[in-house]
Structure 1
Amino acid sequence: MKRYLILEDGTVFEGEAFGGKEASVGEVVFNTSMTGYQEILSDPSYCGQIVTMTYPLIGNYGINSDDFESIEPAVKGMVVREVADFPSNFRCNSTLNELFERKGIPGIAGIDTRKLTRLIRSKGSIKGVLTAADEEVNVSDVVEKLQQTVLPHDQVAQVSTARPYPSPGRGKRVVLIDYGMKHGILRELNNRDCDVIVVPYNTPSKEIMAWGPDGVMLSNGPGDPKDVPECVEVVGELIGQVPIFGICLGHQLFARACGADTFKLKFGHRGGNHPVKDLTTGKVEITSQNHGYAVDEDTLQGTRLKVTHSALNDGTNEGLAHLDYPAFTVQYHPESSPGPEDSNYLFDRFIELMSANRKEQQYA
């Protein structure tokens, strides 16, 4: 069956349909990871997006029951050069096509993903539609409707948990605010025996503090931080009350809560091969990233924030720390899902920060 990927600028790609049969509309982005497609398709931060994989063969090790970052994928579709029909891996229990069919997610294969990626890099992230399988379309009509389409701005509400739930441990108590949390974050806290309580994105600060946390984790999530001002307000109320560690969207919300601004990147950072320099140690780490917005460093003056990490590819901000309170954040993903693991130590730093803060309170 054939399928078309039609972009709002009128560009048309014809390919082979796989996965769900229905049409889908979203923001078309690209990811440069060579592996980890299962974690990518199940990352809630891709809510509302059609993901182009630049690596030419996707699905070659299939789908397993261990590597999901969320129970229900929020991705709107996937674009690949070639999809593997017969994967080979000892953990494989289904194919990518079977998963997408089951979840109703459309995919397209057999197109020139290099051309599409160059187009996105040139024009920036762009709206697109994956047509229904074997549907004959009028391209001009589709483009006109697509140009008039306003993509949703409630992605965080779509992917956050509806109610609090625990993930018990005997160590530090951490309240994890779920803006679209990857389960890898929860795994890393559990590996350190943290007693975690996951709460919805719009949980009031008083309710968060009522749990008596040793620390608060601000998770990753989709969309523009300016679309969730209520989250910025809550983070601002938490700063100074409890140690904070923020990742990705959590990093951006933290910056805005401290008075800084954020902006939309031309085509975002998405992949597992982004070099970031730790300005406090001089060490360069290879990081996993997935974001379309960044903190504007020109607006940091007067915020009591210092820059701790910087992206070597384009110089954008990758990390912040508060000068007065035990709080730090990073733009990338230290939970290593799907990898690499260079920045995993940041979870240990968070544990140390909570321990030090508890000692200060005991002797205050």
Structure 2
Amino acid sequence: MKRKLVLEDGTVFIGEAIGSEKAVIGEAVFNTGMTGYQEIISDPSYCGQIVTLTYPLVGNYGVNLDDFETINPSIGGLVVKESCDYPSNFRSVESLDNYLKNKDIPGIQGIDTRKLTRIIRQQGTMKAMIASIETTTEELLKKMKMTPIPQDQVSQVSTIKPYVVPGRGARIVLIDFGMKHGILREFTKRSCHVTVVPYNTTAEEILQLKPDGVMLSNGPGDPKDVPEAIEAIRELISVVPIFGICLGHQLIALASGGDTLKMSFGHRGSNHPVKDLETDRVWMTSQNHGYAVSEESLTNTDLVVSQYALNDGSVEGLKHEFHPVFSVQYHPESAPGPQDSNSLFDRFLTMIDAHKRGEYTCQNVLTSTKF
């Protein structure tokens, strides 16, 4: 069955339908990873977005039961060059097309994904629509113009009620802005007692749980759309150790008086090099974000840039000068992606131990809590 993808600038791609038959409007983005499509599709940070995978063959190892980052994916739609109908892998339980159908996610294959990616790189992310070929382009453009990009993505993907993943180690409160399960896996591997709470949980409610540390998860959209989280983090910074990932990294900057900006086409892939200024090491990282921290805005804050992206010089890591607080813009849980930065979870637990002993000071930021 034929289907088309229409960009808000009027560009039209004709291809074949995969997944659900419904029409969808979303922000068109691209991911450069060669593998990891299952983790990408189930990453809540893609809430409502139409994701183009630049690798030409997708679905060749099927869909398994182990690699999901959430149970119910919130991705808007999927665009691929070719979707494999007959996957081959010992863990595979179904094809990509079947999975998309079961989860009511529309997709399109057989289009020039290189051309689409170049358009997004040159013009920036924009609204797009996957729809039936029978609907006129004029109708689709009119509908897109009348449909704003939603600003409530975090509330859509955050947990509704708190829940506990028990352990005998450090007590971690994990604020869920659209958490990937990989973050939970890293804490449970380290025997942590994790309490996952909704995005709008207040600082007072968090402190009542007596946390040893607070984890700020990844999540979709503009960090300025969650002001209640910014206020809670502002109150927590001087009280308890904090580790922020992706959206959590941006929220720490906003809570400290910094600012964030929308990137032209963002960072989405599993091959982004990041340089750590303390160790002079370069890590390959997995990333998925359309907003970044403005370095200029950090001048009058207590935050220091600890890492940079080598591709474009954007801020990839922050640390607080006086409190045990740090953050990274990428995904150290590496789902999907390289495991270079996985030790950041150990660094967080080291910070927590130093804070509990009363030995954490701004002087030992570079020693006992080094990357």
Matched, 1:359 2:322: no
Letter in structure 1 aligned against 2:128: G
Aligned to 1:229: 227
Aligned to 2:46: 46
Aligned to 1:291: 289
| Distance (whole Å) between structure 2 residues aligned to residue 271 and residue 9 of structure 1 | 25
State the Cα deviation string for residues 35-79 of structure 1 (Å, max 9, x = none).
000000000000010000000000000000000000000000000
Shift of 1:216: 0.1
Aligned to 1:317: 315
Letter in structure 2 aligned against 1:111: I
Shift of 1:339: 1.6
| Distance (whole Å) between structure 1 residues aligned to residue 137 and residue 24 of structure 2 | 15
Instruction: Specify the SS of the correspondent of 2:183.
Output: helix
Letter in structure 2 aligned against 1:142: L
Letter in structure 2 aligned against 1:281: T
State the Cα deviation string for residues 190-248 of structure 1 (Å, max 9, x = none).
10110000000000111101110000000000000111111100110110110000000
Letter in structure 1 aligned against 2:60: N
Letter in structure 1 aligned against 2:6: I
Aligned to 2:280: 282
Instruction: Specify the SS of the correspondent of 2:134.
Output: coil
- 1:172-187 aligned at under 5 Å gives the runs 172-187=170-185
Matched, 1:164 2:162: yes
Runs of 4+ in 1 over 3 A off after TM superposition: none
Aligned to 1:350: 348
Aligned to 2:61: 61
Aligned to 1:220: 218
Letter in structure 1 aligned against 2:87: P
Instruction: Specify the SS of the correspondent of 1:246.
Output: strand
Instruction: Specify the SS of the correspondent of 1:97.
Output: helix
Shift of 1:140: 1.3
Matched, 1:188 2:178: no
Matched, 1:119 2:119: yes
Aligned to 1:265: 263
Q: TM-score, normalised on structure 2?
A: 0.96
Letter in structure 2 aligned against 1:14: I
- 1:244-255 aligned at under 5 Å gives the runs 244-255=242-253
Shift of 1:281: 0.7
| Distance (whole Å) between structure 2 residues aligned to residue 38 and residue 141 of structure 1 | 32
Gap runs ≥5 in structure 2: 361-371
Q: How many residues align?
A: 360
| Distance (whole Å) between structure 2 residues aligned to residue 252 and residue 195 of structure 1 | 25
Shift of 1:148: 2.5
State the Cα deviation string for residues 242-273 of structure 1 (Å, max 9, x = none).
00000000000000000000000000000000
Matched, 1:72 2:76: no
Coordinate RMSD, CA, aligned: 0.9
| Distance (whole Å) between structure 2 residues aligned to residue 272 and residue 338 of structure 1 | 7
| Distance (whole Å) between structure 2 residues aligned to residue 148 and residue 340 of structure 1 | 40
- 1:93-108 aligned at under 5 Å gives the runs 93-108=93-108
Letter in structure 2 aligned against 1:123: Q
| Distance (whole Å) between structure 2 residues aligned to residue 215 and residue 351 of structure 1 | 8
Letter in structure 1 aligned against 2:256: C
Instruction: Specify the SS of the correspondent of 1:281.
Output: coil
Aligned to 2:14: 14
Instruction: Specify the SS of the correspondent of 1:131.
Output: strand
Letter in structure 1 aligned against 2:105: I
| Distance (whole Å) between structure 1 residues aligned to residue 240 and residue 262 of structure 2 | 30
Aligned to 2:195: 197
Shift of 1:361: 7.8
State the Cα deviation string for residues 164-199 of structure 1 (Å, max 9, x = none).
000011000000000000000010011011000000
Aligned to 2:36: 36
| Distance (whole Å) between structure 1 residues aligned to residue 301 and residue 257 of structure 2 | 6
Letter in structure 1 aligned against 2:324: P
Gap runs ≥5 in structure 1: none
State the Cα deviation string for residues 71-120 of structure 1 (Å, max 9, x = none).
00000000000000000000000111111101110010000000000000
| Distance (whole Å) between structure 1 residues aligned to residue 249 and residue 25 of structure 2 | 28
